[in-house]
Structure 1
Amino acid sequence: MLDDFLMRAGLAGVGLSLATGPLGAFVVWRRMAYFGDATAHAAILGVALALAMDLPVGFGTLAVALVMAVTVSTLSGRGWAIDTVLGVLAHSALALGLVAVSFLQGVRVDLQSWLFGDILAVSRADLAFIWGGGALVAVLIVWRWDRLLVATVNEDLAHASGIDPNRERMVLTLALAVVVAVSIKVVGALLIAAMLIVPAAAARALARGPEAMALLASAIGAAAALAGLWLSLSFDTPAGPSIVAAAAAGFVIAGVVGRLRA
């Protein structure tokens, strides 16, 4: 069954939604969209470094995404203007990554596949990496759910409950880095943030509680991945952007249904 490239692509999209659903809910609640963009852009630098050192691309992107996430979290905790820090680091990392790729000798690099994803080329090893990373993030969020939710709703309440908001923010930061590493093959560095935000925003219009929103975001993300693959095969469109377009259509539908229900 896994010899079928379309089956592997569908499983990759569903596996990715395991992580992007619940994590995307926290990204929406905490207004961390630009943070996700910065971490995703840094992944291109990880691709260049991994290819230069002949390492697996997934590990390279994970390492650079972790460094970027921890750096941003540390600087924002020391009083730096978070929007300025994100703007400088996001565009600098993307530019450095693109420049570094141009210096690679004897290595064939398809930048479009890393920028916009190439889910149809997912291998068995990629599939294991995506599902392993997605399951790790999902388990981490389920384990820390109550603490993360309290720290998100009210930091003063979190302190009163013996919860360190900075530690919970770091947990989300590390989870985001893992998601970036496993997502780059599916939707690419430029569209990762969309898969975090759009399904969660669509779920927000329909869900009646935080847990329901996280689960519904995963379901919408999985449906968008499968619908995007169908669009790609039917109309010969790029797979990654087609998946995001399907998620955007889901957001519009969810918004209309939510308004009608209200």
Structure 2
Amino acid sequence: MDNRKNLYFHYPKSNQLEKRLTPLFDLAKENGFTILDDYTKANIIASIGGDGSFLQAVRKTGFRQDCLYVGIAQANESGLYCDFNLDNYDEMVHSIMNEELEVRRFPIIKVVINGESKFYCLNEASIRSAIIKTIEINVYIDDKPFETFRGDGLIVATPTGSTGYNKSTHGAVVDPKTPCFQVSELASLNNNRYRTLGSSFILDKERTLKLEVIQDGNDYPIIGLDNEAYSIRNIQDLTITLSEQRIKTVKLKNNSYWDRVKRTFL
């Protein structure tokens, strides 16, 4: 880790948190780290907070491919992306200095809206009705018609995002070493007139998913990209693929993804 000692901390600014972080900053400097104010020059970006803060840190710093992301949770915060805790920051510095870490690479999805605007997501992308009316979406897989969805909306999750919004809709939890993405339904209509698959389905990394919004008055759906909502006028379609890019994070060698899932849910 000697050549990766330029640190940028991403956290909500507050006097109380700044006070808690001062010992961490001092310890980092004592061990040869340089703390920067410009994330574009850092090769380690540390997020302070739970999984939501980690998602924000990755998004606000542009899904950088040339640096490592580190998640540092505070007390009572979820931390599937966070191997470290602010209350034990000295252990984190010790682990980095003694190379007790491994680099893991998390897949992300690319979302293209109306064939123009491009976004990336580490957790999931979702499209939901913004009015009290079902949204109708033509679903295509590799440009071939698959189904017409009617309901509250759809979620498209990465493997790591499978434990979030996707899991709350009874989607599967997916191993992040499996390069794929998952589609889950939100309150679909299934009766003699309307029919959908009625369950989540998983697509291989080579697949292309297209969601075409039927223009029937529900033309301003809510688009969720990770933990941010975007209001984009006149949504016509979303094209979603698994990106070739990966987010690199560090983890303790004895703390696997499934160890974290077990601690969080079981």
Bigger relative contact order, structure 1 or 2 (CA pairs below 8 A, ≥6 apart): 1
- TM-score interval (norm. to shorter): under 0.3
Q: TM-score, normalised by structure 1?
A: 0.24
Task: Give the structure with higher Rg (CA).
Answer: 2
Bigger proportion of residues as strand: 2
Q: TM-score, normalised by structure 2?
A: 0.24
